[in-house]
Structure 1
Amino acid sequence: MGSCLSTSSNKQNIPEPGIKFVQKDFSEKDLRLAEELRKMCHEKGKENDPCASAEIFHQMGLLYKIKSPDKISLIRSAALLNAVISRQPSNQQLIDDLQLFCTELLQTAGAEKMDADLMQISNQAAQMIKEMRDTAQQALSRLETIPYDITIGEQNQLEVKKIHDIKLIQEQITQKYGDVMRYIAEKCIEIMGKNLSEFCIAAMGSLARSEVTPYSDFEHIILLEEGVKKREKMRNFWNIFDGFRVSIPSLNDVTKKGGDWFFDSYTTRGISFDGMMPFACKLPLGRTEKTKNKPWTTELIQIVSDMVKYLDQEELIKNGYKIHQVICTTTVIYGSHTIYGLFTDQVKSSLQNNKESNHDLLKQQLKEDLKNFDAIKNLNNLFASSKCNIKRVVYRSTSIFIAALGLLYSIDKAFSFAIIQQLHENKKINDETAHLLSYAVAVSCQVRLSWYMNKQSQDDYVGEDEAFAYYRKDQIKDSLSVWEQLDQQDVQNSRCIGRLMVYKAWCLKKLNRHQEALQQVDDVISKIHDLKVSEQNKYQCLNQLHPINGWCKQEIGQYQDAVKEYRETLKYLDLRDDQNQPAVKLSKERTLHNIGWCLYEFGDYDAAISEVKESLEICEQNNLPVVDKCDSYWLLGKCHFAKAEYDTALTYFKTELHLRLRNVPRRKQDSDEDIKEARNNINKCEEKLEIK
């Protein structure tokens, strides 16, 4: 993929290195670049064209680099340059800038080994991570599926095997993940020199629980030996160690209303450090920026006695994020085991001395977590055409309960399987409960791990279509069965009955039971006027049925009737008060595209072209997703090819391919089915035109 970054424009209005400039100048340039990027993004802050927005990231990266030796700015510069290289890996100007950045980073950190090749070390760590992910993927592929038509005894045996296999996979990933971090730490010691004070890197979160994935964040603290006064050397060590992913204030300022607007859906998420947002900051630099309501900072590079102070409830409340909860469960990654042993001893002592108050705090926190991670509430997001957080629904709702049991019974284990085993050995739970809890952990770990591996990133959110493509149809049938049972009950007064009935039609559509879905729609229309629900609810339900009807009729070949349903959908969208919102524009654009597709299938190519061009115009005017533009160019190409207008069709197919290549990471291009089809369509046009 060719670079779209201009060398001359990359450094436009940015001072040369070494030239100081005031905060006002920096802020003005930063905000100006952020505003330029905002114009290049569509709904929810996602980039419309990652290749084009790379130029903005490049300029911002150079800008933040000049602001150093402010260490946070240095890290942010690295994050921005990393964002560019993920979009433009062959950009030579960027490679040169990265080399210069590494040199300046070593100078700022006071490194002893100034000729260290940070990019080579980074590439070696990346190779180790790739090997870890490949091994995990192979292990997952060997897992057996438990069928439904077996005896209880056979099922129990397969569940025991599943527990054993998942436990082994998690232990292997944890070991390899730790190896990567130890490799980086050793290289940093070589670079910084041997004159560092004694220290220990201790992991928190899923790595400490041995439930880490090959894409999980690295949450950790740095413990120092007692008596250390200055921590500057260790801060510089961590800057070298940094994983290059932090929040950029002009893009993601969670402290200001509307400030958190940008979402990087392109750069692969994981492995990275925790975010710099006030509620996160589970990394050594901790909380570095004050807010109006929480005007203090917190650092997690501390001597042992100061780190243990975070277990104090007053300190917990003051700091406003769950540092108390996470430092209770840690594991040593690198450094002095003596320091780590002192820390764990003091943690145990503190927890034991404040057992009663800690239990009250734990129960309160568990109640809050179970509410936040409520599976039913999160699954309902799918019906609202929203995103469902698979980590919350499947993994956290299980792991937080097991962890809480461990703390309540003072069990000195972190791995969920180990906690359950200890509870069983201590006769706190019986054989059956131990098995059921272990199987729940195994399933939750497998689902989260499989999803991350499938997405090749730490992507917790599952959309409607992804969810139903990922899960078996048997599960959709089970869901449909539940709704059917509810519908048979006397729930006439339920405020959600209309939504329930529409949901049934939606499930039937997802199961490709199109005729049944159409019948369900007719039932809703005949019943909804008699239900005791608000007029607004009736109106919303009725208008949700048109796209369901349109889709079902389109799938069974009733194209003219489908067009009528989609026309009704457009009428509803035009009457909405929020029709200028991006989500409504997107719905309108996709409805027009569906009309175009139906007209194409019906053989009315000119009418189809007119509809698709209108949908494309909405895309262009509102910065809608690139994939929607690609689909429009594809359908325009299909229409003109059907009309034997091969020159025009070739132009559209080439435009489609160009956009898809810019929007799909290089590592996925050869396997992308849409890219394969675009190339095939270009070949067909060239054959018709006898182009060699």
Structure 2
Amino acid sequence: MLRVCEKLREADAKRKRLVEVEVLKSLGDVNLEKGKFKGKDVTKLDRAMVLYRTALLRCKDADVGESLEYRYRHAEKLRIGKATVTLISHEPSTNANKMPSIAKMAETFQHLDRRLTSDYNKDSLLIEYTKLMVEGIANEDGMLEVEAIKSLGDVYVKRGTETRDTTCLTKATALYNTALARCEGIQGRVTLIHRLLYTARLRQAMKTRRHKYPKHRRQQQRQQGDLPRDFPVIRHAKGQQFMTPSEYIGSQTSKPPAPDNRSYEDDLTTGDRALADGNLDTAEQRFASALRLIHDPNKPDRDKEAEGLRRLGDVYVKRGKRTKEGRKFTQAAALYNAAMARTYKDKGKINKSLQETEKWFLQHTANVDSAPSPLDSTTRHQKRLEDMRGRAKSQLDAIDQQHDPYQYDEDDPKMIAVEAERAEAIKALFKTIAKDRQFFIQELIDECIATLGPPPCKYAFIGLGSQATELVTPYSDLEFAILIEDGKDNDDTRRYFLNLTHYLHLKVINLGETILPAMAIPSLNDFYSEDPEKDWFFDSVTPRGFSFDGFMPWACKTPFGRDKTKTKQPLSLIQTPANMAKFQELEVSLSEGYHLSDILRRVVLLVGEEALVSQYREKLDEVITDDLLSHFQTRISARQILRENKEMFTTFEPTGQLLNVKKDIYRFPGIAIEILALCCQIRLASTWSVIDRLKEMRQVQEENATHLTVLTSISAELRLRTYMANRGQQDSLSPLGEMKHQTRKLHDDTTLKSEFHIPDTQILYRYYYRAIPLKKCMPDIVQHGSQVQSRRAE
């Protein structure tokens, strides 16, 4: 722990030293300028040289050091009366000592740009552009300064595309924003905005490619040098070549080839004929083909996509009426809602289709002769959800006002005390959110039961995942299972609860926050196919918020369970307590994977009979406390979790690149506490309760329990803030401060924003201050099991 603290202090000292160097450099620049323009004030020039020399003594960065040396030589030449040696020649004019020849400057940059597009050494180019930037600053030449900063950004963009390092793209974005803040001309600002959009597109392409394919395919593609499909490249006979930002912007001046509207319209017409004839497979194939022609995740043609999705919804309604499968109607509802999110046209028509979808579901699947829910019912549910989010935001704002530990210095004892108070307040907030969501879900289920009729037996909806751990957000997916009464497990009972789940799903889909890939519509996203081209539809328009856990084979934490795969049998999460507990048995865990058994170990009642949940917990205890399993299976589970998350537990150093708040911040504390619970035989659902029990059992000291609470609260708070800022489950979080620019034509600040920027970077420091030591000691905890109490986890 002491070594870690020393490293953190060293990092802090390094940061302070960098700030000190920047301050000295800036003071030197001020004195240099005053010395130049006040009749060559020798005192000011001497002072500038002293400041630059002092900064050099403290500087450890080679690039910054070279810049300081250049400044020092420039000041020295002015001091002894020699003409300043510049990198660009000047034309004779009344302003000859300041303004470079624009033609010469353009020639210089064109020459350097040609070297950029080749395989020229980029470190050398960085030095060249930095010199130009320094000269622009020294000569008060705004045009030269902006062009040099812009070119530095171009170098980092090319380096990022070659190395697939998003850190380089982050640096490029920062440089373009800096140039934008200094740029005067409207054309220059437009060019820089294009570069920012171009860089964002590169980052999104990398992210999409990384998440779309399995890890082994990504490694293979990196070895083969394949670029993402929508990567900006120039194709030549000899292969692929990097497209510079200038070339990309130039390519945007001429309109890209328009989609083949004739083929799009032909597909729609053919699909309409097939639909009218009842040939549903052909109709779906044609509508999907039309969608694929115009589908662009980065620049979707919303009106055309909406038309294709609406007609595809018509196919699924007819298919549902034919097969009587509830899932066909929910897929139709998702398609209609996706169409609604893309267009303002025909909303009345789409709403009518949604009501008819519910009507046909009740008639053909549930065998209930009942009118569909009125439109204002959906509006009321949407308002209820927004009110829940508004209350959470208000409470978070109140916590900021009442408990702000970051106003104190790190060594101030007040900071530790206020930080612990804030963690307790965050804990109370998340307990409130979990309870609000439970009431909301209960209201939806009660409405469904009122329409379908009373259940045939006693039941309990049990919440899983973050709902059970009390770390859920108002935007999180709904993960749950259904317990049914012993002796009532028959076809009629299962059919009723499947229909109830489908009806609940319809109501959740109509909230408008279910993305289409989560519905696993085969013509758009076929997750069971080995052909990646069959998983092609990316829903960048529909908000991703409160929705069912997806139908993907690796998700499926709903009563529907999972369809049969090549290696696994189908499973259902509608079970009696005894049968649900069997997922904890060693043989079942090995065949299904430990993730399913882990998530079913921590449950909370949503709606129904508390007695069934108690009975389920008793059955869990019977399975888990078996002599063999208590010492063997839980240890295997802990080791398996550690092995599956090896990268998370071996990555310590934070970086400046974009973070995925869920994967990089939120998941680690939850997994660490889950491992501690396994090792200590704790089967409580709530993460907060597990920490309290660890303290009661003296498996962790009181101080360490506080550390765990603070660590968990920071991770949960950052996820909640990110989702609130992005209005949905968008996980991008920037550890850098938000950069703003203001043009002369604007009266307010405008921020180019593509991700959530953390409000105070100190909160990340406090997170890593606790996370890094805990990561290092977790393997030892798993190895020694009951010796957790002797290990320090602060």
Report the Cα offset of residue 271 of structure 1.
Answer: 0.4
CA distance in 1, matches of 2:452, 2:326: 16
Q: Which amino acid aligns with 1:426?
A: M
Contact 1:378 1:388 in 2 (8 A): no
Q: Which amino acid aligns with 1:163?
A: A
Report the Cα offset of residue 200 of structure 1.
Answer: 1.0
Contact 1:132 1:176 in 2 (8 A): yes
Partner of 1:142: 398
Which one of the candidate residues 325, 331, 336 is aligned to 1:76? 331
In the TM superposition, 1:121-520 aligns within 5 A as 121-144=377-400, 145=404, 146-149=406-409, 151-227=411-487, 228-230=489-491, 231-242=494-505, 243-244=508-509, 245=514, 246-255=519-528, 256-258=530-532, 259-288=534-563, 290-291=564-565, 293-320=566-593, 322-353=595-626, 354-371=629-646, 373=648, 376=651, 383=657, 388-462=659-733, 470-471=757-758
Contact 1:10 1:55 in 2 (8 A): no
CA distance in 1, matches of 2:266, 2:387: 39
CA distance in 2, matches of 1:271, 1:328: 23
Q: Which amino acid aligns with 1:125?
A: H
Q: Which amino acid aligns with 1:154?
A: K
The reply to whether residue 53 of structure 1 matches residue 340 of structure 2 is: no
Report the Cα offset of residue 160 of structure 1.
Answer: 1.5
Report the Cα offset of residue 89 of structure 1.
Answer: 5.6
Contact 1:10 1:58 in 2 (8 A): no
Contact 2:268 2:286 in 1 (8 A): no
CA distance in 2, matches of 1:478, 1:112: 57
- Pick closer, same or farther for the CA change 1:404–1:435 going to 2, 3 Å: same
CA distance in 1, matches of 2:382, 2:414: 42
CA distance in 1, matches of 2:633, 2:726: 38
Secondary structure, counterpart of 1:362 in structure 2: helix
| Greater relative CO, 1 or 2 (CA 8 Å, sep 6+) | 1
Q: Residues 96-141 of structure 1: CA distance to partner in whole angstroms, max 9, x if unpaired?
A: 1112111101112335460241644333222211111000111112
Secondary structure, counterpart of 1:221 in structure 2: strand
- Alignment TM-score, normalising by the size of structure 2: 0.54
More moved, 354-363 vs 126-135: 354-363
Contact 2:594 2:637 in 1 (8 A): no
Report the Cα offset of residue 421 of structure 1.
Answer: 1.4
Contact 1:279 1:321 in 2 (8 A): no
CA distance in 2, matches of 1:38, 1:312: 45
CA distance in 2, matches of 1:477, 1:275: 31
Partner of 2:294: 40
Contact 1:37 1:56 in 2 (8 A): yes
Contact 1:125 1:183 in 2 (8 A): no
Q: Which amino acid aligns with 2:625?
A: Q
Contact 1:279 1:320 in 2 (8 A): no
| Alignment: residue pair count | 463
Contact 2:434 2:471 in 1 (8 A): yes
Contact 2:270 2:286 in 1 (8 A): no
- Pick closer, same or farther for the CA change 1:404–1:436 going to 2, 3 Å: same
CA distance in 2, matches of 1:330, 1:337: 12
The reply to whether residue 13 of structure 1 matches residue 271 of structure 2 is: yes
CA distance in 1, matches of 2:348, 2:715: 43
Q: Which amino acid aligns with 1:81?
A: Y
Q: Residues 267-290 of structure 1: CA distance to partner in whole angstroms, max 9, x if unpaired?
A: 1111001111111100111102x3
More moved, 203-212 vs 85-94: 85-94
CA RMSD of aligned residues (A): 3.1
Identity of aligned residues (%): 24
CA distance in 1, matches of 2:652, 2:417: 33
CA distance in 1, matches of 2:504, 2:364: 14
Partner of 1:567: none
Q: Which runs of 5+ in 2 are unaligned?
A: 1-263, 739-752, 767-794
- Pick closer, same or farther for the CA change 1:238–1:469 going to 2, 3 Å: closer
Q: Which amino acid aligns with 1:257?
A: D
Partner of 1:630: none
Partner of 2:154: none
Contact 1:202 1:333 in 2 (8 A): yes
Q: Residues 463-501 of structure 1: CA distance to partner in whole angstroms, max 9, x if unpaired?
A: 79868861358569989xxxxxxxxxxxxxxxxxxxxxx
Contact 2:461 2:608 in 1 (8 A): yes
Secondary structure, counterpart of 1:413 in structure 2: coil
CA distance in 2, matches of 1:405, 1:47: 46
Contact 2:288 2:523 in 1 (8 A): yes
* Structure with the greater alpha carbon radius of gyration: 2
